[in-house]
Amino acid sequence: EIQKKENVKIRIIAQPDNPSLTRVLLKGYWRENMEIEQIICLDDSNQSNHNISVIASLLPLLQGDVSYQAYYYYDNQKAHINVMSLTPILILLDDYIVYCNISMNECLIVRDSVEYEFYARQYEQMKMKAELLTEGGKVLNKSLDSLCPVYSGEEQYIYIGFSPCLAACMTPDLLRRHLVMPEETKELFINAVMSNRKLMEKQSLHNIFTEEGFRMLIEKGTTGEYPSELYLPLEETERSIVIRQMIQHGKEGKLKLHMTNRQYLDLDTKLCIYVSGNQGVSFVKWKEGGQVQSFTVNEISIKRTFFDFLDFANENGWLYSQEDTISRMEKIFGEYHYKRQHLKAAE
């Protein structure tokens, strides 16, 4: 009966680290017209790193085909989870109330308008006291916010991507020549890039990328920062200009460059992560068919975890130091340039 409806809204009070619940939601074959809201509890202890694993449990829903929003409140999470309750999962589905045990193998389904209205009212009151944890969804990849988040202030930022931050080293003329998008969007994008570049002069951007992504830029003029449909690859002479500019920015400290040590850390070729102390953590995943999955997590301990990770990765060899990164970039670029010169001479 519910699956025949044009629009289905599901409201849930449950912790996200429950694989059974996630499987049920993603396997529902009404998912194309399904809207999900979930209220979760995050730990209120400043010493706890458990919140990052809780957020990780949301990723299947955030990256799926459903419309999903999560809200959070702080509490003693262990006390909340270990409370003696036979049915700790509450689901409001259309005009049904579903009480589930923790393993999701037994449930009680109630269809009573008075009882449903009571729980729906309690849910909305709880939601009003909670904060929005995630925002975003599946959008057209012409969305400017997904292409180039606009930064503000003098705080520290982290950009994590397969390739180094190409836009930070492009001139307005190069951007106009290579971007494939409507003129109005193109100009807005260029303005956002130029605005973000001013922050680099205050040494505020940490850029984490892979050696493979850097080689891809050198050899093909392509990047994992944007989907291939939105730009034309750089010509060889243009690549040289951009890469030299990138290395110079690194030497001057305008860009804090960190190449990953592939022995310990690998990055997704189509995933970009933007971390801002004030604006949250944005995840942008490029997909086929002109789509991008983009969502932002607004929660202070999650933001702090990424900055802690940067320190941990540097201290434990997961990332090369800024000096070693620049040295490796110069060596790789020099070897490629030398090889190209010999090939041209042979021709």
Alpha carbon of 13 to those of 58, 62, 122, 198, 294: distances in Å?
14, 17, 11, 43, 24
pLDDT score recorded for residue 221 = 92
- Residues in the chain, overall count: 347
Query: Closest Cα to residue 61, out of 141, 126, 136?
Result: 136
H or E segment and range at residue 60? helix 59-62
pLDDT score recorded for residue 139 = 45
Sheet hosting strand 89-93, strand order edge to edge: 107-110, 96-100, 89-93, 8-13, 34-43, 67-75, 131-132
- Please state, in angstroms and rounded to a whole number, the distance separating the CA atoms of residues 293 and 62: 8
pLDDT score recorded for residue 345 = 66
pLDDT score recorded for residue 118 = 94
Whether the Cβ atoms of residue 256 and residue 322 lie closer than 8 Å to each other: yes
Q: Taking the chain (347 residues) in consecutive chunks of 10 residues, what is each chunk's mean pLDDT?
A: 69 82 67 78 66 74 75 72 68 89 84 92 92 64 54 74 87 88 84 76 82 94 84 91 92 92 90 80 73 73 83 93 95 87 68
